[in-house]
Chains A and B, each alone.
Chain A
Amino acid sequence: MWKILVALAVGAVIGTVVPFNEDWKNRLGRLQFYGVLILLFFMGIAIGINKEVIANLDRIGLISISFAVATTFMGVMLTYLLTSLYLRHQKGGIR
């Protein structure tokens, strides 16, 4: 976790100190997007390379997908409900 904090802090310092113009800001945005794709490609390799995970994807996979969908769905709906209620009382809140 500390490595992530350091990377974020170093980036924030660079972003504060270096006077990037709009052109550079756009380039950084594109770089971020392609970075996400590379990260996901490696994540896919980490999943595919683990033979045990792939072999058990039937029964355990079904239970896991149920867990993932149910927990994500309930979390999203509750967050949407509460943040909507909160935003209703906020003038100028982002929507």
Chain B
Amino acid sequence: MTLPILIAVVLGTLVGMFIVPESLYPLTEQALGWSLFALILLVGIDLGLNRHVFKDLKKHGLIILIIPLSVIAGSFFGGVLVSMVYGMPLNKASAVAAGYGWYSLSGILLTKLDGPELGTIAFLTNTFRELIAIVTIPIIAKRMNVYTTIAPAGAAAMDSVLPVIARCTTPEVAAISFVSGAILSSLVPILVPFFYGM
């Protein structure tokens, strides 16, 4: 599954760089939005077909909290590590780390709070996080445990990366993934300014 994914991203990037003119960017954004919309609809059908899963969610109640809290703490520690390596102020590094893969929002937030450079770092960091998630999820599903596949996705566990998780795991994990992604997504606009203001 990983190779076709890599080919799709690389091919898309090359098409974006050399073929599609910059003026068509809004159209690309629209196409991205609609294809995401269609995919989430398919994931919804999948969840509907496996509706019995929701009845079992209660017994995994703690997992629903463990995953987003681990992502928050792990991302923070990762941010601390990078701040030490590059000599970046801890508040800026932890704010970038608190994007949890939501590149558009964290990029905009930090461009406004700090400037275009930190905004670009946040945008790229979280774009790369999503790409890393897409590439590593199939490997994590095989080598670790299925719940851990939700961690690299971060906030995207509820939307763009959800189809990948659903494909590699079970409908139950996909449902937990959505909840975890929703928790993290709702925390991004709160935690990015919070860490930046530290």
Q: Please list the residues of chain A having a beta carbon within 8 angstroms of any beta carbon in chain B.
A: 1, 3-4, 7-17, 20, 25, 28-29, 31-33, 35-54, 56-57, 60-61, 63-84, 86-87, 94-95
- Quick one: which of B28, B45, B82 contacts A70, CB cutoff 8 A? B82
- Quick one: which of A8, A37, A46, A52 contacts B47, CB cutoff 8 A? A8
How many residues of chain B get a CB closer than 8 Å to chain A's CBs?
97
Counting chain A CB atoms within 10 Å of each CB, the highest count among B45, B81, B166 belongs to B45
- Quick one: which of A25, A39, A48 contacts B16, CB cutoff 8 A? A48
Chain A residues with Cβ below 8 Å from B79 are 67, 70-71
Judge whether B48 and A49 touch: CB under 8 Å: no
Q: Which residue of A lies closest to B85 (CB)?
A: A66
Judge whether B151 and A75 touch: CB under 8 Å: yes
Q: CA separation between A13 and B129, bound complex, in Å?
A: 32
Judge whether A60 and B121 touch: CB under 8 Å: yes
Judge whether B9 and A43 touch: CB under 8 Å: yes
Which residues of B18-54 have CB atoms within 8 Å of chain A's CB atoms?
Answer: 18, 20, 22, 24-25, 28-29, 31-32, 35-51
Nearest 5 CB-CB pairs, A to B? Answer: A11-B44, A44-B12, A15-B48, A48-B16, A75-B74
Other A-B contacts than A11-B45, A36-B39, 14 sampled, CB-CB below 8 A, are A4-B37, A7-B44, A11-B44, A16-B51, A32-B39, A67-B121, A68-B132, A70-B79, A75-B70, A75-B78, A75-B154, A78-B77, A81-B70, A95-B145
- Quick one: which of B37, B45, B128 contacts A15, CB cutoff 8 A? B45
Chain B residues with Cβ below 8 Å from A45 are 12-13, 15-16, 20, 28
